[in-house]
Every structure is written in structure tokens, then in C-alpha cells.
Amino acid sequence: MLIITIKLTLANKIIALHYCTMRSSLFILLLLVALMSCIHAQAEHPIVRWALAGQLDSLAHAANQLTSTPEGRLAGALANDDAAVAIPTFKRLVEDESLSDDLLALAWQRLHGYAVIVGDNQLSNEAAIWLNDHPDVSERLFHGNLPIPRQTRFWAVQIGAFSNRSNADRLAAEQRSNGYTVQIDQLQVNGQTLHAVRVGRFDSHTEADDFARRVFGEGGYRVVEIVL
């Protein structure tokens, strides 16, 4: 009987010790989680916190206090709901290497939204690609709610292709002076690099061809499809 009592007492002590150990481990785990949360909160940039919370007054105040810095310009653009004013600012900011990835993600995310509003498919696609190419920061800030990159397709009128880049530049400048959108693309033809001058961004082959016939007459051009 004494032996049984001793065994039961020992078993109870072992159970109690195990229970205390589990409670201690759980407490340590909760403490670590709380500590990591504090560290994350301290590391989070205030502009990130205000932007995600929609605190426009705080963003506007930051813009006034940091007027000559990229952070201040970002805060001002985030507080501005005028797409025509904000888009040029965001386009400059996403090229600024001094901004952290968190701030760049905010700029690209807002730029994507405004590009969709104004119908700039190329710009919205560029923003979507950046956000999806940086999944760690994008998913942390936006919880995986990322835009899906789309192919941007349009037609242009190719009016010349030159081995000498300066000739392409001259023709492009001439067409830009006429008010047309012009791009110069490099082509590889039979091992030779050519610089193709392409005018316009049209939604269909027919629209591009009609423009070319009206502006450049018969012949001397080629309608090409461009996919970005």
C-alpha cells in the first residue's frame, strides 16, 4: 500500500511539473509573439500606417513637414485624390532608390489605382508587375490583394527603320513636332540591329491603317502589333 501511495505521489508530481513546464513554454511563446509585434510596429514607417488607415490629415501634415524629401512628396501624393496631379508625382517617386520597399509598394499600389481610373493600361500593368515581383512586402501590406498583370497590346504605324540611330531620332523628332506619339524600338533583322520609328498607339489594326493612309498616304509605312 505504501509503495502504491509513493508511486501515485511521484506520478502527480511529474504531471504537475509537466503542466508547469507547458504553461511556462506557452507564456514564453506568447511573450515572443508580443515582442515581435512590438518590433514590427516600431519598424513600420508612419506613412505606411497612415496610408493603410486612411488618415489623410496625418499624411497632409507629414507632407507639410517634409516638403523637400521623397517621403514628404509621397505623403502629399497619398493625401491627394486628384489623379491628374498625383500620377506624375508617383511616377517620379517609383524611380527614387532612396525610398524603402514599403514606401515604394505604397507608391506603386496607388499608381496602379489611378492608372486604372484614367485608363492607362500600360502604366497599370507596369505597377501590377512591380507589386507581384515583390510578394513579401506587397502581401504583408495589402494581404495578398494584388492586381493581376495583363498584356498590353496595341498597334502602331512603322514609318522607317534605320541602322543609324541618329536617323531614327531625327524622324521621331519630326513626328513628335507634329503632335504624334512616337517610339523607337530596336529590331534584329538578319543579324543587323535596326531602329524602327513607330507612330501612334491604336486599339485596332484598322484604326492604325486608317490613320496611316490619311497622314502618310499610300505605301511607305507598315502597321505593326506591339505587345508589352
Q: How many domains is the chain partitioned into structurally? A: 2
Q: What's the pLDDT at 212?
A: 92
- Residues 46-91: tens digit of each pLDDT: 888 888 888 888 888 888 888 788 898 899 888 887 888 888 988 8
**Residue of higher predicted confidence among 42 and 125:** 125
Q: How confident is the model at residue 181 (pLDDT cuts 50, 70, 90)?
A: confident
Nearest in space to 78 (alpha carbons), one of 92, 67, 89, 65: 89
Q: How far is 5 from 98, CA to CA, in rounded Å?
A: 72
Q: What is the mean pLDDT of the segment spanning 218-226? A: 82
Structural domain including 211 reads 153-227
**Residue of higher predicted confidence among 225 and 158:** 158
Q: How confident is the model at residue 196 (pLDDT cuts 50, 70, 90)?
A: very high
Residue 14 covered by a domain: no
How distant, in Å, are the alpha carbons of 69, 76, 116 from that of 83? 21, 12, 10
Q: What's the pLDDT at 152?
A: 61
Mean pLDDT score of the chain, rounded to an integer?
A: 78
The verdict on 165 and 132 lying in the same domain is: no
Q: Above 50 in pLDDT, residue 31? A: no
Q: How far is 155 from 223, CA to CA, in rounded Å?
A: 7
The verdict on 76 and 130 lying in the same domain is: yes
CB 227 within 8 A of CB 155: no
The pTM score is: 0.49
The verdict on 135 and 198 lying in the same domain is: no
Instruction: Using the 3D structure, point to which of 142, 177, 209 is the last residue of a domain.
Output: 142
